[in-house]
Chains A and B, each alone.
Chain A
Amino acid sequence: MTTLSQEKTVAPGKSIIEKLNVVTALVLGIVSAVVVWRLSLAFLPEDSESAALFTREDKITLLSMCAWFVGFMTGIGALVGPFRWLMGKDLSHDENMFLAGKEMGPKRYFRYTTDHKVVGIQYLFITILIFFLGGGLAMLIRTNLGRAEGGWLHPQAYNDIVGTHGILMIVGTIIMITGPFGNFIMPIMIGARDMAFPRLNALSFWLIVAAAVPLLWGQFLGGISTGWSAYNPLASQAPLGMDGYIMYICIFAVSTMVAGANITTTVVKMRAKGMTWNRTPIFIYGTVASVALALPAFPVFFLSQVLSAFDRALGTSFYNTSLGGSGWLYENLFWLMGHPEVYVILIPSIAALMEMAPVFTRRPLFGFNVAIMGIAGITGLSVLVWAHHMYISGWAPLLNAPFMLTTELISIPTGMLFLVLVGTLWRGRLWMTMPLMSIFALLWNFMIGGVTGIYLSDVPADAFLHGSMYVTAHFHYTLMGAGLTGALASLVYWFPKMTGRMFDKTLSWISFWLVQIGFNVAFVGMFMVGLAGQPRRVGTYAPTFSTANLVTTIGAYTIMIGMLVLLYGVIDSARNGVKAPKNPWQAKTLEWTVDYPIPLENFDELPTVTTDAYGYGKAQS
C-alpha cells in the first residue's frame, strides 16, 4: 500500500489523539447507542391510543442511531480538531504528523489518518466491500428470479434485498472513482502535497463507515421494503428498518458534501505552478464536475430524508396526504438529487477513461476543449431533467414536454464525450491492455444505455416502459456498463502507483471478458422481458418470461465469477505481483513522476508544469 516506514516511534500516552482508533470508535458508538436506547425506553412516553400515528419506536430507533453516530465520530477522533480550535490549542506539528500517519505502519488505516494516500486506500477497501455485499444481494435476487415462481425468498425479504442492493450499489458507484482515485491520485496528479483539508478528508471517509452501521442495523428491524428510492408515503408506513436507511442517507450526504468542498478547493487552489486550466488533466475536470454537482444536489436528498424522519418519529405531515402533505413533494426532492447523481457517477468514470485513452493510443486527447464542454453541458443540464422520473406519477403533466426536451438535449454533450473518445482512438497505435479495452466496452455499453434512455425520456414510450425490467436494464447499462467499467479500468491503470506492483495482466483480461460478456448476456435478457412487460421489484413472474430470466441469471453468475477473479487479482497482485517501475504506462501526468513508496508529502520539491499532459506523438514525447 502506500509507503511509509513501518517503524513505530511514537511514544505511548501522549495525548488523546494517539489513543483513538476504530476500536475506541466502535466501543463508544455501541455504548452510546445502548445508553440512549435504554434511556429512551425508560423516559419516552407511550403513544396515545388516539394518536394518528404511532411514533415511539421510531423515536427510540432514530435517537439510538444518532447516539451511535455521535459516539462513533467522537471515538474515532473527528471532534478533536474542532474542540482544540475552540480551546485555542491548535494541533502541533508533531500531532499533525501523527494524524498524517507518519511512521505508523498499517495501523494508520484504522485511525483518523489525514494522509490522502491512506484515505484513498481506505476508500478503495470500503468500495470493494460495498460491491461485495451489494453484488451478493444481486445474486440472491437473480437466484430467486431463476424460476418463474421464485420461491425461496419471502416476498418481504425479497423487497428488502432489492432495496438494500440498490442503495448499496448507488453509494458504491458514487464513491468508486472520486473516493479511491480522487483521493489517492488526484492530489499527486495536480502536483499538491495533500488535499486542501486533510482532516475533512478523513472525516468524509469515516462518515461513510459510521453510516454503514445504521443500514446494517435496519436489516434486523424489517429492512428497506420500499426499493432504494424509498418513496413516501410508502416509506412512512414501512418497518423500523427504514430509519436505518434515513440515517445512512443523511450521514452519507454529509460525507459527500464535505468531500465535494475539499476536492474542489484542492483543485482550484493547489494546482502546481504552471498547471493552467488548459494543462489540467481531463480526469481532474471529471472529478471536480462530479463533486461540484453533488454539492448542491445531495443537501436536497438529505432534506428529503430529514422530513421523512420527522413524519415517522414526530408525526409531522410533509408527505402524509391526510394531514396536508404530498407524496409528490418527496418525489421532487428525491429526483432533484436522483438524476444529477447519475452523472455524479458517470462523469468521473468517463473522464478517467479519457485520461487513459491518450496513454494507450499514444495520441493527444482529441478535442480537449470539446471534452470540457461536454462535461460542463452534462453537469448543467442534469439539474433540469429530474421530473422525467415522474411522468407517470401525475405530477404537472404540462411540464412533461419541457422535461422531455431537456432530457433529450443531454444527448448532445454526451455525444461530445463519445466523439472525444472515438477521435482519440481513431488511427491510434493501440496498446491492447485491459484499460484500453474498457474504453471500447464503455462505448458499447453506454451507447446501449443512452439509446434505451431516449425511449424512457419520451413520454408516450415511458407510459408503457415505466416500472418494468426495461428501466432496470437501462440504468444498469449506464451505471454498471459505463460507470463501473471505467472504475475497473482505473483500478488496473493506477494499481501500480497505489501498491507498487503491476496488476496481473492475465487475471485482468479474464475478469474483463467474464464481466463484459456476462453483463451483456444478463441485461439484454432483462431488456427483452422488460419490453414484454415484466415489472421490476417483483419476486415472481409469468412463465412466459422464464427463458429470458434464466439467461439473465446465467449472465449474472458470469459477472460474479468475473468480479471474484478481479478480487483475487487485487489481493494476489498486491501481495505477489511484479514490482512496478515508476511509470509503467509511459504516461505524462504528474503522478507517474513520483517514486514508489510515495513520500508523505508526495514531492520533495513541488513540480512546475510547462506543457499539457497529452503531448504524445510529438518530438521527444
Chain B
Amino acid sequence: MSVETHAHHEHPDVVGSRNRLGVILLLVADIAFALSMVFVYFYLRGQNVNNMWLPAATADHPAIEPLSSKSAWIVTAICAFGVLSHVYGLRGARAGNQTQLKLGSLVAFIASIVAIANQTNTIASAPFTFTDGAYVSCFYMFAFLNMAHLILTVFISLGNWNRARLGLYTENFWHVDIVRIWWIWMAVSSLLGAFCLSFP
C-alpha cells in the first residue's frame, strides 16, 4: 500500500452517520434479545409442559387466568405517541424551528414517564406471583424487558429535551435523529410483547 496524504477534517454529518450505524448495530443485538424472548414465549406455550402453561385449579390454589393484554397495548400506544412527538420535534429541528423541537422533545419525555408509570402499575397489580406457571414467567419476562427499555427511554428523552432546551441542536441535530431510531425500536419492542401476550 502506498501512503499519500490529505487534510484531515471530520464534518458533523460524518460523525452523525457513524453514530447512526453504531446505534443500529447495537439495536441488532437488542432485537436478537427481544426475538429470543418471543421464541421463549411461543416455545413454552407450544410445549405446555405438564399442563403448567396456565395451571388448573388445585385444592390450595385457584386456576391461573391470563391477564388481558390491554395494558400492554396501552403502553405500546403511549410509546407510539412518544415516537410521533419526537418526530414532530425532529421536523422542527430540520426546519430550524427550535420551539417545535423543544415542544416535541418535552412531550416525548412526558410520554416516556407516563409509559413507565403504566408499566409499573401493570407489574404491581398483576394477580399472580412468579411461581404461577410458565405463562406468568413469560408475562414478567416481557414486563421487565419493557421496564428496562422504558428506563433507558426516560434517560434518553430527558437528555434529548434538556439538550434541545439548552439550544445545543441549533447547528446540527444528528443526536435527535438517532434518538428517533431508539424511540421507534422502543415502540416496536413493546408491540412485540403486547402481540405475544395477546395469545395466552
Contacts and interface: CB of A to CB of B under 8 A. Distances in A.
Does A pair with B? yes
Interface of A: 51-53, 82, 85-88, 90, 193, 196-197, 200, 257-258, 260-262, 264-265, 268-270, 273, 279, 295-300, 302-303, 307, 310, 314-318, 321-326, 329, 332-333, 336, 588-590, 593, 605-613
Contact of A605 (B7, B18, B26, B131): B7
A325 B37 CA distance: 14
Contact of A53 (B32, B131, B137): B131
B3 A260 contact: no
Nearest to A608: B4
Given A270-B18, A593-B3, A296 B32 contact: yes
A257 B48 CA distance: 33
B155 A295 contact: no
A324 B25 CA distance: 35
9 contacts: A85-B163, A87-B162, A257-B29, A260-B25, A261-B25, A296-B28, A326-B43, A606-B5, A606-B6
Interface of B: 1-8, 14, 17-19, 21-22, 25-26, 28-33, 36-37, 39-40, 43-44, 47-53, 55, 129-131, 133-137, 140-141, 155, 158-159, 162-163, 165-166, 168
Nearest to A291: B25
Contacts of A264: 21, 25
A258 B26 contact: yes
A445 to B, nearest CB: 32
Contacts of A323: 50, 52, 55, 131, 133-134, 137
Given A310-B141, A323-B52, A610 B4 contact: yes
A87 B155 CA distance: 11
A296 B29 CA distance: 5
Given A296-B29, A323-B131, A593-B1, A261 B53 contact: no
B44 A325 contact: yes
Given A590-B3, A605-B5, A606-B8, A333 B29 contact: no
Contacts of B50: 321-324
Contacts of A257: 26, 29
Contacts of A329: 40, 43-44, 47
B171 to A, nearest CB: 13
Given A261-B22, A606-B5, A324 B36 contact: no
A276 to B, nearest CB: 12
Nearest to A587: B1
B7 A321 contact: no
B28 A86 contact: no
A333 B43 CA distance: 11
A83 to B, nearest CB: 9
Contacts of B141: 307, 310, 316, 318
Nearest to B22: A265
A298 B137 contact: no
A197 B167 CA distance: 24
A310 B40 CA distance: 14
A269 B55 CA distance: 53
B130 A310 contact: yes
Nearest to B25: A261
Given A324-B134, A605-B8, A268 B2 contact: no
A322 B55 CA distance: 11
A270 to B, nearest CB: 7
Nearest to A302: B33
Contact of A316 (B5, B14, B131): B131
Nearest to B130: A314
A257 B166 CA distance: 32
Contacts of A333: 36, 40
A324 B44 contact: yes
B5 A608 contact: yes
Given A86-B159, A610-B4, A265 B21 contact: yes
Contact of A196 (B22, B49, B134, B158): B22
Nearest to A593: B3
Nearest to A315: B131
Nearest to A281: B1
Given A324-B49, A326-B47, A295 B55 contact: no
A303 B159 contact: no
Given A265-B18, A300-B32, A317-B137, A611 B1 contact: yes
Contacts of B140: 310, 314, 316
Given A87-B162, A590-B3, 17 more contacts: A82-B155, A88-B163, A260-B29, A261-B26, A264-B25, A269-B18, A295-B28, A300-B32, A300-B33, A307-B40, A307-B141, A314-B140, A316-B141, A317-B133, A318-B137, A332-B43, A610-B2
Contacts of A611: 1-2
